[in-house]
Amino acid sequence: MPIKDAPVYLDAAQRFRTLFHDAHTHAAYAPGRFEVLGNHTDYNEGFVLSAATNFGTYALASPRADDRCELTSLSVSHSAHSTVNGLAPEPETSWANYVWGVLAGLRTLGQVSTGCNILVAGDLPLGAGLASSAALEISTGLVLSTLYGISVSRLDLARIGQRAEQEFVGANTGLLDQISSLHGESHQLVMTDFRTLEVETLPFAKDMCFVMCNTRVNHALSDGQYNDRRKHCEDAAIFFDGVLDHEVTALRDVSWVEWQEHHQGMDEIRARRCAHPIGENDRVIRGRDLLMRGDLDGLGALMYESHQSSSEYFENSCPELDFVVATARSIPGVLGARLSGGGFGGSAILLTHSRDTDVIMHATTSAYRNEYDRDCETRRLIPSPGASLIG
């Protein structure tokens, strides 16, 4: 269904008119993302294999005559306001900080002299590890840059979203989420080199898809765990730069063999933490080759391997995610499974044939309910087009 005909967008347009007493003048859409391989490799200048989702966020906007910025989210049923000269992080409305951070970033590229009305809505589950924050940043970035006539490249827009998370939210994230949201293509996976920021899309079989299993375990990257892991990786890169006979500016420069040879010279925590992105880089390269050969069984095996590394080395999994992945191994038709996103909760994704998704979702939800006496959420994830304006 074209995004301009989606029920979520049509409802948002009607709600905008009711709320602001006039129709919106500009609109944009940005999808979430899921990561197939390449967990926590983006800020280590490594590689990631990801995709834009078939769920996302709509942003509708119109200009105001004064300097006031009125923001409403239908997803969280909350409103916030600021002024174009008073943009600052708001501890009581953390979701709004993503938008204020994006608007502040756009102001560095062009003139923003008047305020605006903004309404955001979507069908992307919040806190599920599918980059709902990046979808919010990119959709509002697209709509506001168009509203104010500010020319911004896709890479600059991704960087504006990243700075919004770092400076207005407090999560020292990489660029994976924003780049995936911007570069997605229908039935294509997105391969990104985060040293050069080169992006290519790789064909993904149309009869295959992924199943999301949202554990509903709170997923928040601004509580310190994400930043701690990143600091451990940066410390490890400094260590390897001092012991290897070649330059190391990031963990991307360290091979698995080099980790095996030298990790005992580090403290145990940092040695385990850095093992994960080092191994992930190798898995992404192998995964790309398997994908190009059509070996989806091999790709699925790497997903299982990736999750084991997350759980054992990086410790960004949780019992619920480990349970889902272990359960997936016993369900016929599942080729691979792993956590997706920053971790510490959120979702696991399962690689499968499209024909098997209903059976797999039922088996997963039943097992989860029996184990935890509560429901998880399952959805079919299809690699989909990236962010765009709505004409």
Q: Which residues have CB under 8 Å from 316's CB, separation 6+?
A: 39, 40, 225, 229, 310, 339, 342, 343, 344
Strand-pairing partners, residue 219, are none
* 30 residue type, one letter: A
Distance in angstroms (rounded) separating the CA atoms of residues 138 and 388: 9
Provide the 10 A C-beta neighbour count for residue 242.
Answer: 10
Provide the 10 A C-beta neighbour count for residue 314.
Answer: 23
Distance in angstroms (rounded) separating the CA atoms of residues 48 and 35: 7
3-state secondary structure of 114: coil
CA distances from 370 to 81, 99, 323, 346, 374 (A): 44, 40, 12, 19, 8
H or E stretch at 232: helix 225-243
SS (H, E, C) 4-65: HHCHHHHHHHHHHHHHHCCCCCEEEEEEEEEEEECCCCHHHCCEEEEEEEEEEEEEEEEECC
In total, the chain counts a number of residues equal to 391
Q: What are residue 12's phi and psi, to 5 degrees?
A: -65, -40
Structure tokens, 31 = 């999808």
- What 8-state DSSP symbol labels residue 207? T
Q: Which residues are catalytic?
A: 177
SS (H, E, C) 161-194: HHHHHHHHHCCCCCCHHHHHHHHCCCCEEEEEEC
Distance in angstroms (rounded) separating the CA atoms of residues 235 and 323: 31
Angle between helices 154-163 and 132-147 (to 10 degrees): 120
